[in-house]
Each structure stands twice: as structure tokens, then as C-alpha cells.
Structure 1
Amino acid sequence: MSPLSSMKVFLPVLLAALLGVEQAHSLMCFSCTNQKSNFYCLWPTVCSDSDNYCVTFSASGGIGKLVDFGYSLNKGCSPTCLGTSVNMGVLKVGTTCCSNSLCNFSAAGGGPQASAPLLSLGLLLSLLSAMLWLVP
């Protein structure tokens, strides 16, 4: 087996092993403040030792398509979980909690639901195809 072939096999295996390892000491959560889109809420943050949950808080308001009061999304770490949702017709507030690293990927009450293993698999396949494309 040539060194190049060995590298093609070694890098994806190493990446898969690193993505599969869960950090034992600190929780990591996505973090943002007062954003209008989940796209701007994908910044990983290392939580303190007292934090046990990743939380996502979303709030939106309006009256049908006539009046739009806007949408706000906040994410971060928290020592407690107050996972509640309230829909008062004019105002909708949602809070979701989870306890795995980077588990608050999706927006509360909306957006695509994705798991860390699914995201890791997508990243691995993307990197693998890029590596194969670069090698003659």
C-alpha cells in the first residue's frame, strides 16, 4: 500500500474518531444573543463547570401577516432548564434545553432538527470527498 493510499484511509478514520469522542470535562453549547436567524447562532462556547444544559430561547410576535413584531433568538449555557413554551396568539415564546455538547443546533420551536452524529457524518463525508478530489 502506497503512503498516499495509507493517508487516504488514515485521515477519515482519525477524523471519525475525533468527532466521536465526547468531552468529559466541559459542556459546549452554541451561543448567540438577540439574533434574527439561526445562521448567526452557530458559535460554539465552552460552558462553565456549573452549567448542565444548552438552552435555546426564541420569541416572536405579530398579528398574522398584518403586523410583524419580529423574531429574536438566544442560545447559550445554563445551570438549570426551564423548558417551557407559551403561545398567546400575538406572542410566541419557546425555550428548549438539552444536555449534550452542541445539542442546541436547531432553533427553539422551529428550524431543522439535527443530531450531532448526523452533523458529524455530513462533515466527514464532505471532507472525504474534498480529499479524494484533491488527490490525482
Structure 2
Amino acid sequence: MKVLPVLLAALLAVDPACSLVCFSCKDQKSNFYCLKPTVCSDSDNYCVTMSASAGIGNMVDLGRTLNKGCSPICPGASIDLGVVAMGTHCCQSFLCNISAAGGGPQVSATVLGLGVLLSLLAALLRPSL
């Protein structure tokens, strides 16, 4: 009978290998539809949130797409090409990708205005033929 308590203590001391659990969704417009928990495979080490957006500051919103899920690697850093941007966020704990990664970066109206001003200036200073 003394074997049973020793065996029970040994089993309780062993930390079972648990798979990572992440929220997942594909091509959603809102984080509300991205709250489905998914058990990741043993090879997945990261919960990933990727958001792509297009727009000009707060003035013009051309849309946003949100993807969440499990990944064996953390994909590359965020990319901002002016009016189109893609934000990536990786984490490694239970349901850690609950947020929408800030909605992705967008170019500010100031940067856009400066670009337009420089384009006009270049056109005005160009010699006429």
C-alpha cells in the first residue's frame, strides 16, 4: 500500500507537456470574430496575429484584414509602405493573441501632405519645354 502514495506523488511531480492554445481566424474585419480557441500542434511555438490595413491616417479607411493562429516560427517584422501596412505580433503563452495588434499602422496625414507638397514643388521647379 505504500507504493500507491509514492506513485501518486511521482505522477503529480511530472509536468505534462501541454500544447499551446491560441485564438484563430482567417480574413476577418473585426477582432470579435477572432476569438476561437485552437489547440496548436506540438511543433507550433507561437501564437501569431497579423493585421493588414490600407488607408490615410484617420481620414480615409480602405479596409483591414485580421488573421490569427498557431505557427512554428514568428513571421517577419511589421511592414509599412505608406498607405498599406501589415502588422505582425507573436507571443508564446496560453491565448496570448487576444488583441488585434493595434489594427496595423497607417500613414499620418502629415506625411501624406508633405509628400504631396514635395511633388508639387518638384513640378513647379521643373523647367518648361
Q: TM-score range by the shorter chain?
A: 0.5 to 0.7
Q: Report the CA distance between 1:109 and its aligned residue.
A: 2.9
Q: Report the CA distance between 1:83 and its aligned residue.
A: 4.6
Question: Matches of 2:24 and 2:91 in 1, distance apart?
Answer: 14
Check conservation: 1:83, 1:97, Cα contact below 8 A. Answer: no
Q: Are 1:75 and 2:68 matched, yes or no?
A: yes
Give the aligned partner of residue 30 of structure 2: 37
Q: Report the CA distance between 1:65 and its aligned residue.
A: 5.4
Q: Report the CA distance between 1:78 and its aligned residue.
A: 0.1
TM-score (norm 2): 0.62
Larger Rg: 2
1:107 paired residue among 97, 100, 103: 100
Question: Matches of 2:52 and 2:16 in 1, distance apart?
Answer: 31
Give the aligned partner of residue 58 of structure 1: 51
Q: Report the CA distance between 1:84 and its aligned residue.
A: 1.1
Structure 1 segments unaligned to the other structure (5+ residues) = 1-21, 112-136
Check conservation: 1:54, 1:104, Cα contact below 8 A. Answer: yes
Percent of aligned pairs with the same residue? 69
In structure 2, do the counterparts of structure 1 residues 81 and 26 end up closer, same or farther at CA, with 3 Å as the change threshold?
same
Question: Matches of 2:16 and 2:103 in 1, distance apart?
Answer: 28
Amino acid paired to 2:78: S
Give the aligned partner of residue 12 of structure 1: none
Q: Report the CA distance between 1:87 and its aligned residue.
A: 1.8
In structure 2, do the counterparts of structure 1 residues 84 and 109 end up closer, same or farther at CA, with 3 Å as the change threshold?
farther
Q: Report the CA distance between 1:68 and its aligned residue.
A: 3.0
Question: Matches of 2:16 and 2:30 in 1, distance apart?
Answer: 28
In structure 2, do the counterparts of structure 1 residues 67 and 50 end up closer, same or farther at CA, with 3 Å as the change threshold?
same
Alignment map for 1:1-136 (pairs within 5 Å): 24-64=17-57, 67-110=60-103
Question: Matches of 1:23 and 1:91 in 2, distance apart?
Answer: 44
Q: Report the number of matched residues.
A: 90
Check conservation: 2:51, 2:103, Cα contact below 8 A. Answer: no
Amino acid paired to 1:76: G
Amino acid paired to 2:61: D
Structure 2 segments unaligned to the other structure (5+ residues) = 1-14, 105-129
